[in-house]
Amino acid sequence: MYTVKAPFILHWLYPTLTWHRSRTEKRIFLTFDDGPIPDVTPLVINTLNNYGVKATFFCVGENIKKHPDLFNTLLENGHRIGNHTYNHLNGWKTPDDIYLKNVDRCEQLTATRLFRPPYGRGKRSQYAELKKNYEIVMWDVLSGDFDTKLSPEKCLDNVLRYTQRGSIIVFHDNIKAIPRVAYTLPRAIEQWMADGYEFGVL
Q: How far apart are the first and last CA of the chain?
A: 27
Domain carrying residue 66:
8-200
- The DSSP letter of residue 68 is H
Q: Is residue 52 part of a domain?
A: yes
Asked, for residue 22, whether it belongs to a domain, the answer is yes
pTM: 0.96
CA-nearest of 10, 47, 42 to 30 is 47
Q: Domain count of the chain?
A: 1
Q: Is 187 helix (H, G, I), strand (E, B) or coil?
A: helix
Q: Is residue 84 part of a domain?
A: yes
Q: What is the domain-level CATH number for residue 83?
A: 3.20.20.370
Cα distance between residue 79 and residue 94, in whole Å: 30
Number of residues written out for the chain: 202
Q: Which residues are catalytic?
A: 33, 172
Whether 3 is covered by a domain: the verdict is: no
Give domain status of residue 51, yes or no: yes
Q: Report the C-alpha gap between 117 and 60 in whole angstroms.
A: 11
Tens of pLDDT, residue by residue over 89-133, are 999 999 999 999 999 999 999 999 999 999 999 999 999 999 999
**Is 1 within a domain?**
no
